């Protein structure tokens, strides 16, 4: 049978994760031949690859010969990085550098996903040229990963993004969606951080930006280096929680704003807002309004089913 296999090939690491799933879907639905790889949750849908196994990484890249590799896999939980620094460094730094080297070997365009946590949050908004100063070990490993990528592959791209949300498999998958239970169970008061300024960003938007960046690069080899993308609605976790309550017509009076700097866990930057004008000038970008995006992400986790019937029937 004549099956039209798109000639543009993309390999996505971390394809089982929140961002990776959206990335796979975005490329797949836009006429790319996408292969996703994962580790613990890979089969049957994705290739199972341990990114620390350099032979396995070499083999999949040489067999598939991708034009583009989007590297979403990372240890992205700051408190876990603090407690398991060696494992985090292996994945965030060593594996990223090796992937960049292998990408260069087959002429693939690598997009390395990084974070706004490379900045200390004292003088936002941050341009790509601003000097990073990460406050926590997670930010440090991602910054070292950026350097490892660009040292091994000068034609690669780094895309820094902030806190993500989207269609989660479990509420704990995102620092935004994890708040939903506290919002829904209004019989007990919940303390919410009202100190750190965040810019919640939908994974679908990041996936669109990566695809647009990849397609622009296919036409223009000068597209490389460091880029920023972010949602443009500034909100603390308390404000996000109130917006979530509002989106589902739930009470928010039990949510308590805490304006002090958090004392437990890894240090967080107060406001690491990213300036996205470099990508915008390339005509790249997409932003889903937070209320629309969060409603779409969370309604399957709504406890009160009556609300669902009124909206969807």
Closest C-alpha to 177, from 18, 14, 16, 287: 18
In this prediction, residue 78 carries a pLDDT of 87
In this prediction, residue 313 carries a pLDDT of 43
Contacts 24+ apart (CB under 8 A), 81-87: 81/136, 81/137, 81/138, 81/141, 81/266, 82/136, 82/137, 82/138, 82/265, 82/266, 85/137, 85/141
Query: In this structure, are residues 123 and 172 in contact, taking their beta carbons and an 8 Å threshold?
Result: no
How far is it, in rounded angstroms, from Cα 54 to Cα 47?
15
Query: In this structure, are residues 158 and 307 in contact, taking their beta carbons and an 8 Å threshold?
Result: no
pLDDT (tens digit per residue) in 77-109: 888 999 999 999 999 999 999 999 999 999 999
Q: What is the DSSP letter of 271?
A: B
| pTM of the shown model | 0.94
Assign domain 9-167+201-233+270-288 to its CATH architecture. Answer: 3-Layer(aba) Sandwich (3.40)
How far is it, in rounded angstroms, from Cα 264 to Cα 27?
39
Domain residue spans in the chain? 9-167+201-233+270-288
| Per-residue pLDDT in tens (0 to 9) along the chain, 313 residues | 556 666 899 999 999 999 999 999 999 999 999 999 999 877 788 999 999 999 999 999 999 999 999 999 999 888 899 999 999 999 999 999 999 999 999 999 999 999 999 999 999 999 999 999 999 999 999 999 999 999 999 999 999 999 999 999 999 999 999 999 999 999 999 999 999 999 999 999 999 999 999 999 999 999 999 999 999 999 999 999 999 999 999 999 999 999 998 877 888 999 999 999 999 999 999 999 999 999 999 999 998 765 555 555 4
């Amino acid at each position: 049978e004549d099956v039209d296999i798109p000639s543009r090939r993309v390999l996505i690491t971390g394809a089982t994760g929140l961002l990776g799933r959206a990335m796979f879907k975005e490329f797949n639905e836009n006429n790319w031949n996408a292969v996703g790889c994962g580790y613990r949750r890979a089969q049957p849908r994705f290739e199972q690859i341990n990114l620390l196994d350099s032979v396995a990484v070499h083999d999949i890249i040489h067999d598939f010969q991708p034009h583009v590799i989007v590297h979403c896999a990372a240890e992205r939980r700051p408190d876990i990085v603090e407690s398991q620094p060696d494992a985090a460094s292996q994945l965030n730094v060593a594996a990223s550098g090796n992937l960049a080297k292998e990408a260069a070997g087959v002429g693939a365009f690598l997009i390395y996903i990084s974070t706004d946590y490379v900045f200390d949050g004292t003088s936002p908004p941050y341009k790509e040229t601003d000097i990073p100063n990460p406050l926590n070990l997670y930010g440090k490993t991602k910054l070292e990963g950026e350097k490892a990528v660009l040292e091994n592959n000068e034609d690669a791209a780094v895309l820094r993004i902030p806190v993500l949300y989207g269609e989660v498999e479990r509420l704990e998958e995102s620092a935004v969606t994890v708040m939903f239970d506290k919002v829904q169970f209004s019989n007990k008061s919940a303390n919410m951080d009202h100190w750190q300024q965040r810019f919640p960003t939908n994974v679908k938007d990041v996936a669109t930006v990566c695809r647009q960046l990849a397609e622009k690069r296919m036409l223009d080899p000068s597209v490389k280096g460091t880029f920023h993308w972010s949602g443009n609605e500034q909100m603390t976790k308390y404000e996000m929680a109130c917006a979530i309550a509002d989106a589902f017509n739930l009470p928010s009076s039990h949510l308590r704003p805490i304006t002090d700097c958090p004392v437990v866990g890894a240090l967080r930057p107060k406001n690491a807002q990213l300036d996205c004008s470099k990508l915008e000038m390339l005509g790249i970008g997409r932003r889903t309004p937070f209320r629309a995006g969060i409603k779409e992400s969370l309604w399957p986790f709504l406890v009160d089913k009556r609300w669902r019937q009124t909206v969807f029937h």
